[in-house]
Structure formats: structure tokens, C-alpha cells
Amino acid sequence: MRSLWRRPWVWGLLFFLGLLVVCRGSGATPAVLIELACLSVVFVMAATWGIFHPKRIFPHGSVAVRDALLASVVVFFLTRGILAIASVNNDRLSTDIPAMGPYFPLLASGVLSILLFPVLLWFNLTLVALAGMASKSAPAAERSILPLFWPVLFVSVILDILILAAGKTSGPGGVNRAEHLWPTMGASVFSPLTALFLTLELQGHGKDFSHVTQRLRVFLQRRCTRQRGWGPRDFRGLVLGGITGVLTLTLLSSPLLYAFIAPYEGIAYSAATQLGNQSSILSGALETNERLSIPALAAVLPKNPERLQALQKMVLISYDDSARHMALKTSEAHVQAQLLKHIAVGHPRAITLPFSHDDPDAPLGTLIKSALPRAEPGRPRESSDYPELAKAIKAAGCVYLLPLSSLDNDAKTESSPRAALFQSAYKVASHRLDISGSPDIPALNLKQSPPPLALALAQGERSSMPQGEQVLIDYRHELPQVRLPIAASQILQEQSLYDPVSRTWKPAKEFFTDKYVFIEPLSPRLRATPLGLRNEMEVHAQATATLLQKTHFTDSPPLSTVLLTLVVAALVGQLCVGRAPLESLWKIALPLLLVIGVGVVFTAFTPQRVNPVLPILGGILSFVTVTQFTFAMERDERTRNRELLGRFVAPQAIDEILKDPEGKLGLGGTRRRIVVLFVDVRGFSGFAEKRTPEEVVTTMNRYLAIMTDVLNFHEGILDKYTGDGLMALFLVEEVTQSIDVLRAVEAAQDMAREVQALAQTMKAEGGDALAVGMGLHYGEAVVGMVGHPTRQINYTALGHTVVVAARLQTLAAGGEIILSEAVYRALPPGSIAGELGESVTVKGVAEPVPIYRMRVPEK
């Protein structure tokens, strides 16, 4: 029974039953139920398997942490944009509470990403456990599942977006049928299972994810490089950068993922707006202040007299302490009625009157403000003064009523006291404002109904309105720079008002002539703008001034943004290909800064907004893609070259060459103390004469394979194969001389034993056995590269020591090892028992060489 609870399928079954109860109780559709059940059961089984096999999971923990951290960062940026946009799209803004408005999306997304990190880490470790559970014994699947999962998820998300985009207008009435398929699409279920399937498929063919990147590298190498013709020889960066740009545009076509860059569009737009705003301030200062007058600079700075004239027509009236005290003592409706009577005598073009009724669903800030004592005890709040306000509205004849929230049913009925207000107004407009991508970019929706306040006001003066659905609100010249808000008490007390345009004091009859008057509510609301939080009525005044201009501030055509993104991504990719990330960063810094600068300047001083964020994001993703792909290619190339070099050079020589490739791969060498070993098969000529070449090669491969394995075990360097034998080197250090020489002799002894074992095996198979003779000599030689300066080279040793070792090998009989006296004397005393033989005369050596003969007994 105890072993039953260690079975993953038991936990999966229990979890499935519990999930079935929960989903059926919540009324989930069968498609969602099947999807969640399948995914959950698989992952519960994998997690259970991972708990009982921690040694298969922990080695991949660093990769899991890295991927979870990167995913958390992506979640942070994505949720930040979504929350910021959602706060603006909501009728009751979070910015109604100024202390929370700017920081709430940042704080909430940070908390969410921190809380999701352990979940993402568990998910990654469960993926590793899933691959381990499916592959049973081979660890290759566990190494490959995470690097393969994220590309599969990326592709599945793109496919999901394309399917949803294609289905927006499908079906009767434009219903998006693809939305009903969302629960069964790849981003949720098929990505991990597809990644597991591909991993196991690669493993079945003895490969992993690195082989896929290798295939891609080879394909790009063939298709995107050339030897002749004009232009770049290697344009892999252009191709990868262009593909990254297309994927960036495809992904950001989803409103959900577009929120990823929305805050940064707001930052870029704010920088451009502030640049234009400060330029207008400087231009005005240079023209009006004699001390700062610099005619040459004033002539260069861009001017927009049409924009200035439109702003001069805007008048903003705010509640000061005296007017607020009066409103709290009586009612806001009473104060508004008095203001209308005094303003209407000046015959303004329009008066905007905000209407803020009690709203039980209002946010915290509005509830606190509505709780203030706004009337004397026993006096009905607001409604008793509505008839007076309605009479003042009708008398003025140019009042635009602006409800600051959605109207309830009571306000729409004719019996309601509020209904008289709407009937008396010249027009009722909407206070709703759109955003253009980012919450910091307010805009007017020209197609909404009822029309926005600015559109309703401007239609009375202009016969033609801008085309399209949206117009950006131009903040490059701010209203307070032209005309400061007027205190309501000044109007109520019939004081003269200062006109900063004419620099004179005027009575209300003259001051309000031909003006657009905006009265702030007693409880003002704030909205995000490129210059920070501003009063909502000030935003409407800015929007009205924007529409009164002949040239409107609009977004650049989408096609230009698409082309710029593709060009920047391709250019960055070409600059990064074949370079390290740090080197590439310096290369792309100037183009990216240039794009940012051009976008900001163009937005600040032209009628169109150029969005540099999307091209910059395409360039950054192209930088990451190309540098990481280049790094992966270089890593795979180094691994492959090392493996290829290992077929010709010993591992120790490879390490030495890679430490100093320029020095070691050049011709030449260094003087080293070495033990040289020569091995040769005895009777090989007669053996080869009686057999076919294929049989000879097969037999020699068996001999050479076991001798090479023994050599590598004893850290010897394989110099070369000499047909039916080999030459090997053992590097000797001065401090470990006796140990290094003993290692060479022990290698020769083990070779002899393994050859004897192989000979017995071959006899048992009915074949002929062969024996080997060996010779070793110790001394100095030059070790290094020898060969053609530009073509084939060989890592070898040259000198008297090599010659002597080769001659001694020719004297050895089958199964015999001949040591020179230099080798024998360098061994630790008593370590090897050798029989002293006669001194032999070696060809090319003047003096006879004393030798020691050794024979390894057969097993």
C-alpha cells in the first residue's frame, strides 16, 4: 500500500477527480474541462515523479531559475501596461486618488511578478520532471525540454494571435468564432506536450535541441552567405533581424501583448511633448523679455501662432477657498447658477458646466468628497437648487452640460429634478476621453456617441472636422502658460479680471466675449497627461484648442511605423551578427539613439507623432536574437571543433592548443621532457597477405581502439597511428618526474594485457591473434606543430628521444616491452621489475643503448 502512493498516476487520478468536481460546480464548458483536466493530470503526475527522483531534477535547477526569472520580468512589463490602460478605460479612474494613480500599476505588476516567480519555477521544474518521467533513463530529454519549450510556446502564441485575428470578422454578425477555440489552443496545453514530443523524438534519433540549432546554422550558412558579388558577404543578420521584426509586429498586433510597450510609448510621447512645451516657453520668453531677447535664437525656434490663438480663447474657472466655502454652505448647484449669470453677460461662445451627482459606485476618493457637509442641516442637498440652475442654463443659452459619470435611470426620467438640467442645456456632451496606446497619451474618439465635449464645442465654429476615428490632444503648448485659472470668487464678487493677452484688467462683460469657458467641479478629477496629472476640465480645454486648429496632431501612418521597425531590426541584426554581445551593444547604440532622437524631435515640432518605441523594441529583440543565436552557433562550433580535433589530437593537446590557439597552431614548438612510446603489431605483413583489405581494417580497428582507450586512461597523448601501430607521448614535469614516467610504463603494461585479452577473444571466434611489441625512451624533444605553413599540420615531437624509442620498438618481440636505461632509472625504486638486457646499437646513435626487457604475463 505504501508503494502505491509513490505512483504518479494515483496522484493524477485523485487530482482529476477533485478538478472534475470543481469545474462542474463552476459551470465550466466541456472543452475547458477537458483541457484543464488533461494538463493538470499530466503535471501532477510529473510533479509526483520529480519529488521521488530529485537527483534527476536538481542538476537543471539553474536553468529553471533563469527561465522563471526572465518570464517574471516579461509578466511585470506586460501587467504594468495592462493595468495602466485598464485604469484609463475605466469610467471611474484610479487617478481619482492622486496618491495611488501613478504608482498603482507599477506596484501591482511588481507584486504579481514576485508572486508568480515560484509558480513559474515550479512549472519549469515540472517540465523537467515530465521529460524525465517520459524518457525513463536517458538524461538528454531533461536537458533539452526547457530550451525547446520556450520556442514552441513562442510559436504557439503567434499562431493563436493569427487565428484570433483571422476570425475577428468570421461568422454571422462579425462574431469571432476563434475565441471559442481559445481554451483548446497551443499556448495553454499543446506547448508543453509538443515540446515533450519533440524532445523524445530527437532523443530517439540520438539528438537534442543543439542539433536543431546546428541544422539552422548550416541552413543560414548556405543560404545567407556568398563569396562573390557586391554587397555584404554575410547577411544572416539581415535575415534574422527581419524575421525578428516581423514576429515583433505580429505579436504586438494583439491588444494584450501591445500593453507590454504602452507605458514606454507614454514615456517617449511625454519626452517629445515636454521638449515642444519647453521650446514654446523659451520662444515666448525671448519675444516678451527684453533682457532675454536673442533675435537669432527666437527666429530658429518653431512657432505655432494658430495653436496660441486657440488657447487664448480658453478660460478655466476654479473654486478658491471663498467659493468652496459658499458651495459647502449652500450647494454646488447654487454656486454654478450664480457663476452662469455673471459669465453669460459677456456673451461667451460656450460655457461648459460639469454635473456631478451622487454615485454609490464611485471610488474611494469621490466617496470621501461626497461625504463633506455641502448643505446646512435640514436643507435638501443639491436637488432644491436644480430649478435655479436650470433657469440659469436656459438663460445663458450656450451651456454645454457635462456629466462626469454614467447617468443612472433616475436622471433620464422626465420626473427627475435632474432632467430639467439636461432639457435646458444647449447640448449634453460626453466626458469620456480615449487613449492612443498609452494612458499618458489622451485622445479624442470622433466616432463615439454622445460626442466628446471638445468635438461638440469645435463643431460650432468649424464646419469641417478632422478625418479618422482619433485625434491626439496637443500638449506641446499648455493652457496655464497662456491663461491662468480664474478664481470663482472673483466672478461672484464682480471683480475685474486680468487678461494676460492684452495685459489689461477687464470687466466680465468684456473678458468673456468670444471665449470658451470651462467651470471646474467642486470635487475635481485628475487625468494622466504627457505633462503629469491635470484637472479633467483643463484636459477638455486643451482638447478643444486642438480641434480649433486647422492642422491637427495625429499619429503617423501605421505603414511607416511597420517599415521603420523592419529596417531597424534588420540593421541591428546585421550589425550584431558574428559579434559578442558587448561589442554589438556599442555598434547598435548610435542607430537606436538616432531613432529615439528623430522620433522625439519629429513629434515635438511636427503635426504627426512618430512612435520610436516599436522600432526600438524590434531592434532590441533583434539584438537579443542575433547575439544569442551567434553565441549558440559559436558554442556549438567550438564543441564540434573540439570533438573533431579530438579525433586527431589528444585531449591534453586540445586544452593546450585552445589556451593559446594563435601560438600553438603556428609552426614550431617548445623543448619538453617526454616519454615516447611506440607500439607495433608483430607479423602483420603475413597476416595482411592472407586476408582481404576489409578484414585487415576491421582487425586493426579493434586493436587500435583498445590501445587508444588505455592511452587516454593514463593521460597519454596520441601522436599518430603508424599503420599497424601508434606513437604516443607522455609529458613529464620536473617535480613529478618519477610519477609521470611510471604512468607511461603502466600504460604500456595495460596495453599488453588488453591486447592479450583481445587475442584470446579472437581465437575463440576462430580467427588468428596478433601480438604487439613496444619501446619506450625518456629524454628531451621539441613538442609542437609540424607541417605546411597554411595547410595540414600535425601536433608531434621531434628529436633524438623519438628516434631511439622507434628503434627500440623494432627490437621488441610479440608481447614484449623494451625500456631504455633512461626510462628505467627515472622510475621510482622497486616499482617495476625489468630484466637488464644487452646494450644495443641503435641506428644513427654512436654509443650503444642499455635496455631492459619486460614481459607481461598472460591472464
The predicted-structure confidence for 723-762, as pLDDT tens digits, reads as follows 888 898 998 888 888 888 999 998 998 888 888 888 888 8
The residue type at 605: F
Strand partners, 77: none
In sequence order, the 6+-apart residues with CB closer than 8 A to the CB of 199 are 131, 135, 141, 144, 145, 148, 208, 209
For residue 109, give the 3-state DSSP assignment.
helix
C-alpha cell at 572: 541591428
In sequence order, the 6+-apart residues with CB closer than 8 A to the CB of 847 are none
Query: Residue 375: what pLDDT?
Result: 42
Q: List pLDDT tens digits, range 625-638.
A: 888 777 666 666 66
Q: Which residue ranges form the domains of the chain, and what is each CATH number?
A: 3-169+177-258 (no CATH), 305-359+376-407+415-552 (no CATH), 557-643 (no CATH), 655-855 (3.30.70.1230)
CA separation for the pair 486, 492 (Å, rounded): 11
Exposure string of 489-506, with b = 16+ CB inside 10 Å and e = fewer, is: bbbbeeeebeeeeeeeee
Q: Compute CA distances 412 → 406, 417, 421, 427, 559, whole Å.
A: 11, 10, 11, 15, 45
CA separation for the pair 204, 134 (Å, rounded): 12
The residue type at 812: A
Report yes or no: 280 and 477 within 8 Å, Cβ to Cβ.
yes
Q: Compute CA distances 607 → 159, 443, 550, 786, whole Å.
A: 37, 14, 11, 71
In sequence order, the 6+-apart residues with CB closer than 8 A to the CB of 716 are 650, 677, 728, 729, 730, 743, 744, 747
The total number of residues written for the chain in this structure: 859
Nearest to 807 by CA among 701, 614, 676, 706: 676
C-alpha cell at 576: 550584431
Nearest to 681 by CA among 773, 745, 559, 543: 773
C-alpha cell at 680: 607495433
Q: List pLDDT tens digits, range 553-566.
A: 888 888 888 999 99
Low-confidence ranges of the chain (pLDDT < 50): 1-2, 4-5, 9, 11, 27-28, 91-100, 169-186, 358-380, 409-410, 662, 664-666
In sequence order, the 6+-apart residues with CB closer than 8 A to the CB of 833 are 854
Contacts 24+ apart (CB under 8 A), 232-235: 232/574, 234/577, 234/578, 235/574
C-alpha cell at 232: 555584404
The residue type at 623: F
Report yes or no: 460 and 429 within 8 Å, Cβ to Cβ.
no
**CA neighbours closer than 13 Å in the CB half-sphere of residue 372:** 17
Strand partners, 799: none
C-alpha cell at 480: 496655464
Query: Residue 606: what pLDDT?
Result: 83
C-alpha cell at 31: 472543452
Radius of gyration of the chain (CA): 42
The residue type at 183: P
